[in-house]
Amino acid sequence: MKPTKTGELSWTPAYELGVPTIDKQHAQLVEMLRELQRAMSEGRAQDVLDSILDRLVSYTRVHFATEERLMIDSQYPLYHQHKQEHEELTESVGRFLQEYRRKRAVLSIQLLPFLREWLLHHIMESDRKLGQHLRAAKSRPAQGVLR
Q: List residues near Fe ion by CB under 5 A.
A: 67, 127
Nearer to Fe ion (CB atom), residue 44 or residue 129: 129
A 10 A CB-CB count for 45 gives: 9
**129 Cα distance to chain centroid:** 15
Least distance in angstroms from the C-beta of 17 to Fe ion = 8
Residue 40 CB, nearest distance to Fe ion (Å)?
Answer: 23
Q: Which three-class secondary structure state does DSSP give residue 78?
A: coil
Give the H/E segment covering residue 9: strand 9-10
Helix (H) or strand (E) holding 3: strand 2-3
CB of 36 to Fe ion, least distance (A): 18
Q: SS3 for 60?
A: helix
Q: Which of 67, 97 has the CB closer to Fe ion?
A: 67
Q: Which is nearer to Fe ion, 67 or 120 (CB)?
A: 67
Q: Cβ 138 to Fe ion, closest distance in Å?
A: 17
Nearer to Fe ion, 15 or 100 (CB): 15
